[in-house]
Amino acid sequence: MEALLARMTLEEKLGQLNQPRGLPSVTDAGPPEDREEQIRAGRIGSFLGIRGAAATKRLQRIAVEESRLGIPLLFADDVIHGFRTIFPVPLAEAASFDVAAVESSARVAAVEATAHGVHWTFAPMVDIARDPRWGRIVEGSGEDPYLGSLLAAARVRGFQGSDLGADDTLLATAKHFVAYGAAEGGRDYNTAEVSERTLREIYLPPFHAAVKAGVQAVMAAFDEIAGVPMHANRELVRGVLRREFGFDGIVISDHTGVRELIAHGVAADPQAAGVLALRAGIDIDMVSGIYLHDLPAALRAGQVSQTDIDDAVRRVLRAKYRVGLFNDPYRYCDPTREQTRTLTPQHRKAARDMARKSLVLLKNDGNVLPLSKQLRTIAVIGPLADDQRSMLGSWNGAGRAEDVVTPLAGVRAAVAAGTRVLYAKGTSVSGADSSGFDEAQAVAREADAVLLCIGEQSDMSGEARSRSSLDIPGMQEALARTLLAGGKPLAVILFTGRPLSITWLAEKAPSILLAWFPGVEAGHALADVIFGTESPAGRLPVTFPRTVGQVPIYYNHKNTGRPPQPDDNQDRQKPDKNTSRYLDLPPTPLYPFGHGLSYTTFHYADLRLNAQQIPQGGRLQVQVDVTNTGARASDEVVQLYVHENAASVTPPVKQLRRFQRIRLRPGERRTVAFDLGSDDLAFYGLELRPIVEPGKFRVLAGGSSVSLIEATFEVVPG
Ligand code: NOJ
């Protein structure tokens, strides 16, 4: 590699740091340039958004055979929750609380993407998000840094496999570094106002976990913290990410992130933007073209160093070596593999399993679900019941709407031969159209049960898809009201990429199954659960607020000096009610983190610890007995939280520290064991370094963050 570096001109070096889009887009700066000519001239090191064995091979050939040094290209793409076989959106996958399943999902995506010439994915998105107005909450693992860290590492393993040199593994990217999810007001790209403590406790851990799992790239975020945009944030990129975490892979800008330093107001012109970014530690300039065009002048002026440029180039070349491109630049461009590894029955099966696992039963009064397959007539109603596009969710890679089994199709495929399935759209997702209500009512009248498919369309969450309201859009709630008045057993199937404020629905609808956006196998997976072939067991990886006014609301909050009582909104006159409350709302969320029902019930008992006292640095064994007390087999997500009663820094009211998704037959009892160590009891002390302090702790176990049994222990000096 050093020999190659020594032969490179400055322009060829900067070419390696230049990543344009495959096809020029409206946000590209400057006039469209001839990509092929640029490859020949060694002015492009990697591409964003080119896929396909034939397309990548054609361009790779130009790089390898027609450029002076023959350095192969890297093809990067956003492979986020599946490539062609689209899996549930990442937030939904997080709801499975199934680390192995999430890893397999990323593995399938890697197998498909690499067969289409892709070497590098811009995933996993590991941003913690506590604000559901932020549309990109759909792309992450929710609000909890522990769950987020485990899933970040799982996805890295899934994408990168155990051997980056294999032909079905690709480079992963942990993004967006850092606190992108803390955008004020939930407005995308907005400023993040976070303390260093919150950065370290909440936003940084999933990045650290991804680095420990060997992630090969990290993408800088669009936000700024304390006046310093992340693309210029030397302290966090070179300081925390590289020096503290020991990250030695590629740091890539986000799309035009380098140029955006001008709009941020820290750079007066492109050259200044390029200087700031390179000095901060951004190796690759995605789409701005500034490194290529403006760094030569900056180098001449002594504003950047040759060492910084060379180091960045080394990291890019190293990635190319690692994926094996110097041995065989065409190894990812095999049309046969492209055909045989795409949308295979096994991949579809994995997507169906994952989707099934990600469904969350929010409510099920009177056991409306599961439905019998033998009912005479079932009405499937709602604008999302037959919407193929929306089932794919926010990033659909090479996914196609035509591959999707809609909820309606899934129900039709599952019912017994004599069962009639009626369909009415009822209304559109947004807008004020109620012209379909009569038809919907007529269809419901004929039916023995109603499945009402409502929520958001897939393009209402994702990048630049922030909302100021979390209500179900359009006339859909009115449609629900009309149908509920008909009195038929009714289950709402709720599609969304974010927590929604469904307080009214939660009160009135007997049953609500949260489907998120389940991917290509949506209909089959839903039918599996709707008809009880499988019991739902997903859990909320993020809190559902009662109204948008409660946001941000998350389970691991601080207690405050005046914690509210559950009914503190009731009596506004009482002087002793000067608590941290709202006058017009209970202080609790609508559905808490970790919540989710199943078709059976579970009982937790005998939470026991192997010691009442452990020394600082010691370990603790925790056991709890979980019994399936209902009549059906089901998975259960056993959750373990920890709380320190008093410490030198205010502790959160509880923190998830372990979980296990287990399966229990009716009547079966299992002892679930967890082992806690220093990492699980530590917090960032006043010096902002992790410490375990002597003191009393509570350990809490249960099936959600609010339904818990507890035991106590003490950490003693030593
Ligand atoms: C912008 C997004 O923020 C990022 O997540 C994505 O990887 C890039 N665009 C490339 O598409």
Q: What is the CATH number of the domain that holds 142?
A: 3.20.20.300
Region 474-499: what's the mean pLDDT?
98
Residue nearest atom 4 of ligand 1, based on CA coordinates? 254
Share of the chain above pLDDT 70, in %: 97
CA of 73 relative to ligand 1 center, distance in Å: 19
CA of 193 relative to ligand 1 center, distance in Å: 22
Whether 334 and 393 map to the same domain: the answer is no
* pLDDT higher than 80, residue 24: no
* pLDDT higher than 60, residue 25: no
Whether 637 and 711 map to the same domain: the answer is yes
pTM of the full structure: 0.98
pLDDT tens sequence across 660-680: 999 999 999 999 999 999 999
pLDDT tens sequence across 527-559: 999 999 999 999 999 999 999 999 999 999 999
Atom of ligand 1 nearest to the CA of 221: 3
**What's the maximum distance between 2 C-alpha atoms anywhere in the chain?**
81
* pLDDT higher than 80, residue 390: yes
**583 is a domain residue:** no
**578 is a domain residue:** no
**218 is a domain residue:** yes
| φ/ψ of residue 484, rounded to 5 | -65, -35
Q: Choose the weakest-confidence range: 19-28, 308-317, 408-417.
A: 19-28
Region 435-458: what's the mean pLDDT?
98
Whether 377 and 503 map to the same domain: the answer is yes
Mean pLDDT of all residues in the chain? 96
CA of 221 relative to ligand 1 center, distance in Å: 9
Domain span at 213: 2-338
Q: Does the CB atom of residue 693 touch ligand 1 within 6 A?
A: no
* pLDDT higher than 60, residue 31: no
pLDDT grade, residue 573 (50/70/90)? low
* pLDDT higher than 80, residue 241: yes
**596 is a domain residue:** no
Residue that finishes a domain, picked among 530, 550, 565: 530
The pLDDT assigned to 397 comes to 87
Q: Does the CB atom of residue 223 touch ligand 1 within 6 A?
A: no
**32 is a domain residue:** yes
Among 78, 173, 188, say which to mutate for ligand 1: greatest number of ligand atoms within 8 Å of CB: 78
Whether 328 and 367 map to the same domain: the answer is no
CATH number at residue 640: 2.60.40.10
CA of 181 relative to ligand 1 center, distance in Å: 14
- Cβ neighbors of 200 (< 8 A, separation 6 or more) are 684, 688
Whether 46 and 140 map to the same domain: the answer is yes
The pLDDT assigned to 28 comes to 52
Region 679-692: what's the mean pLDDT?
96
**505 is a domain residue:** yes
**544 is a domain residue:** no
pLDDT grade, residue 575 (50/70/90)? low
Residue that finishes a domain, picked among 496, 530, 564: 530
Whether 399 and 497 map to the same domain: the answer is yes
Q: Helix, strand, coil shares of the chain as percentages rounded to 5?
A: 35, 20, 45
Region 180-185: what's the mean pLDDT?
98
Region 387-411: what's the mean pLDDT?
96
Residue nearest atom 11 of ligand 1, based on CA coordinates? 78
Q: Does the CB atom of residue 77 touch ligand 1 within 6 A?
A: no
Region 325-335: what's the mean pLDDT?
94
Among 25, 121, 125, 463, say which to mutate for ligand 1: greatest number of ligand atoms within 8 Å of CB: 463
* pLDDT higher than 70, residue 571: no
The pLDDT assigned to 574 comes to 61
Residue nearest atom 7 of ligand 1, based on CA coordinates? 122
**568 is a domain residue:** no
User: Environment class of residue 460 by beta-carbon count within 10 Å: exposed (0-12), middle (13-18) or buried (19+)?
Assistant: buried
What is the Cα–Cα distance from 341 to 334, expressed in whole angstroms? 11
Region 562-581: what's the mean pLDDT?
76
CA of 208 relative to ligand 1 center, distance in Å: 20
The pLDDT assigned to 34 comes to 85
Whether 9 and 136 map to the same domain: the answer is yes
Whether 170 and 271 map to the same domain: the answer is yes
First to last CA, the chain: 50
CA of 240 relative to ligand 1 center, distance in Å: 22
Tokens 């929520």 -> residue? 455
CATH number at residue 389: 3.40.50.1700
Atom of ligand 1 nearest to the CA of 222: 3
Residue that finishes a domain, picked among 472, 505, 530: 530
The pLDDT assigned to 549 comes to 97
Whether 95 and 197 map to the same domain: the answer is yes
The pLDDT assigned to 406 comes to 98
In 251-391, which residue ranges form alpha helices assigned H by DSSP? Answer: 260-264, 270-280, 290-300, 306-322, 335-340, 345-358, 388-391
* pLDDT higher than 90, residue 104: yes
pLDDT tens sequence across 505-530: 999 999 999 999 999 999 999 999 99
Q: Which of 254, 294, 353, 680 is catalytic?
A: 254
Whether 293 and 363 map to the same domain: the answer is no
Mark whether 254 is an active-site residue.
Answer: yes
Q: Looking at the 3D structure of the chain, how many domains does it have?
A: 3
What is the Cα–Cα distance from 168 to 152, expressed in whole angstroms? 19
Whether 468 and 372 map to the same domain: the answer is yes
Whether 134 and 164 map to the same domain: the answer is yes
